[in-house]
Amino acid sequence: MLFPITTETRTVTSLNGVWRFRFDPVRGRDGEGFAKRFFDRPLENAVSMPVPSAWNDLFETQSERDFVGWVWYETEFAQREPGDDVNLVLRFGSATHRAMVYVNGHFVTEHVGGFTPFEAVIDEHVTPGVNRLTVAICTILDYSTLPIGTYSETELPDGSKKIANSPNFDFFNYTGIQRPVVLYTLPRSRITDITIVPTYTGTTGTVEYSVVTTDDPLGIAQGIAKRIASDITVDVVDEAGKTVATASGASGSISIPDVKLWNPRAAYLYDFIVTLKRDGKVIDVYREPFGVRTVEVRDGRFLINGKPFYFKGFGKHEDAAIRGRGLDDVFNVKDLRLIKWMGGNSLRTSHYCYSEEFMRLCDREGIVVIDEVPAVGLMLKFSFDLSSLMNPGAPRPKTWETVTCADAHQAVIREMIARDKNHPCVVMWSLTNESESWEPGAGKYFAPLFDLARELDPGKRPVTGVLMQSRDISKDEVAPLSDVVCINRYYGWYFSGGDLATAKVFLEKELAQWHELFPDKPIIVTEYGADTIAGFHDTGSVMFTEEYQAQYYEANHEVFDKFRLVVGEHAWNFADFATAQNIMRAQGNKKGLFTRDRQPKQAVFAFKKRWEAIPDLGHEK
């Protein structure tokens, strides 16, 4: 899916700003706003709500912040007569987690999944003058959605009903319209998709490309649109604005002489400009940035541009005070700058697809990305509300016999790859974080998903699933499917916490075992970390202090450096972040190397020293 940009044939109008908002009067799955047709008239009892942003932290009471059910958004846009040759398209960067969209009371589209874009042609519902846009958003997560949540309606001893939705994951369930909304004027006959697969040999780049165009069937039926005569030209333009290659046709191959490569921390971006003409007249133009680089997993190494790459960076979250997961370019720019300042070169979009704006920024900044779908919480043995710890004898459902999210999983893999396939920053797809991968049934669940990702990605990137710490890694059913073994490990925190000497022994034992099991698969430690409250200090090795966090990382690094197959380290987490409340979290997860407002904890400086000494490319052990 193409990112919305203004070109000589396309106009993007932002609908961001302060909208109106209300909670459905009835909590839970159904609400009453649909039955009462809230979309038929201006919302009553509405309050102001910025878009994009999560709505949660803009309320002070717990019953509002943790509301479970449908929330209603509304805005207006004025529209002039659009003209015969264009479609009006309404596009959401995301709506978390399920959206029903109405224009002037008419239903226009529904989207399920909170972290990918969707759009709808709305011509027939728009009138010249002021139009009303109403969006109902459902916050509920259950066993059929991604991420996984547990939804419950319980009667309390006093007769009242408690409606709860506990996330089966360790980040706050921020919801709402968290990414931009735009109104897009598009030519009726237009470019709908572009696929770019760049490689190079010697100093010559080669771009295999294909362009999909669409006629507007409704427009044709009404006699106001024509079929496209396939007249497509493409130009490759360098950063200086010089056209370095051209071609024509809906698909083909282009050579770029003296190609400049996209390298980690040293990005070079070309523009791929597609022009669609009919009878010599330009009817649509689109510009897609791309970089020339190769990715390959070979002999236990992760190669970028043919050289061994070492992942230095973080698991992150889209998370900041007040706006929650709402898009914030200021935080995004600052975060990437801090990562680069530390000598880092990469990150994982844990645990969902990040905004398109962020992905474009990573392209520009040369930050290497492991792109992850929101498949987190597929592990019912343990729940993040800690009910499993509080009630250890209680029977827990078997994950692979219980979850019903396979369709949602397929859909989001399709949407992620369709959205992100042209990004040079993306070097690997992650199809899950910490599923119950050792439980029989995991392989059967995941094999078709790995096949799907491999089939869909024109760039044939490696595919992985991120693995949780488990007792017997030889039983893992996702590692054999993965091109790279990605492991989250908490030796020295959840395991042997406060005893780093023992932690090192067990970490070393496990890494040695992975080398035996898969001698050709590179390993990335995709999470390791220790909760650290900024300002806590101790001369001893005491958990939660800044000193302990630094010692924890030093101990882990000592072990990583002994192993040939360890090709990367992503500290958990870049910054402190919000979570649901439980006794393991002190106003959120405090494993950040930075505080939530991006101030460094002590360990940052040791990391900086270490990462600056490890080359991005050409790393050999």
Residue 434 annotated among the catalytic residues of the structure: yes
Rounded to whole angstroms, the Cα distance separating 328 from 457 reads: 29
Closest distance between ligand BDP and the C-beta of residue 315, in Å? 7
> Chain-centre distance of CA 433, in angstroms?
12
Shortest Cβ distance from residue 96 to ligand BDP (Å)? 17
| Alpha-helical segments (H) within 193-309 | 217-221
What residue spans of 140-250 are helical by DSSP H?
217-221
- Asked about 288 being catalytic, the answer comes back as no
Asked if residue 24 lies in contact with residue 72, where contact means CB atoms within 8 angstroms, the answer is yes
Specify the residue, 371 or 434, whose C-beta has the smaller distance to ligand BDP. 434
Work out how close the CB of 488 gets to ligand BDP at its nearest, in angstroms, rounded to a whole number.
5
- Percentages (nearest 5) of helix, strand, coil residues in the chain: 20, 35, 45
Catalytic residue of the set 119, 365, 372, 434: 434
> Is residue 567 within 8 Å of residue 523, measured between CB atoms?
yes
**Which residue among the candidates 74, 356, 439, 527 is catalytic per the annotation?**
527
Q: Considering the complex, state which of residue 165 and residue 185 has its C-beta at the smaller distance from ligand BDP.
A: 165
* Least gap, CB of 376 to ligand BDP (angstroms): 7
CB closer to ligand BDP out of 216 and 439: 439
| Cα 32 from Cα 351, distance rounded (Å) | 32
Q: What DSSP character marks residue 144?
A: T
In angstroms, give the least distance from the CB of 579 to ligand BDP.
7
What is the identity of the amino acid at 227? R
Q: Which one, 101 or 555, has the nearer CB to ligand BDP?
A: 555
DSSP string covering 9-67: TBEEEE--EEEEEEE-SS-SSS-STTTTTGGGSPPSS-EEEEESS-SGGG--SHHHHT-
Indicate the residue among 256 and 486 with the shorter CB distance to ligand BDP.
486
- The Cα 284–Cα 281 span in angstroms is 9
Question: Which tokens sit at 514?
Answer: 């992975």
Residue 180 or 377: which CB sits closer to ligand BDP? 377
Evaluated on CA atoms 55, 57, 60, 62, the torsion sign reads positive
Classify the C-alpha dihedral 45-48-54-55 as positive or negative. negative
CA 518/CA 196 separation, integer angstroms:
32
Residues forming the site for ligand BDP (CB under 6 A): 170, 351, 433-434, 488, 527, 572, 589, 591
β-bridge mates for residue 197, sequence order: 208
Query: CB 485 → ligand BDP: shortest distance, Å?
Result: 15
Residue 85: CB atoms within 10 A of its CB come to: 17
Q: Which residue of the chain is nearest ligand BDP when measured via CB?
A: 170
Nearer to ligand BDP, 245 or 466 (CB): 466
Tell the smallest beta-carbon distance from residue 551 to ligand BDP (Å).
18
Active site residues: 434, 527
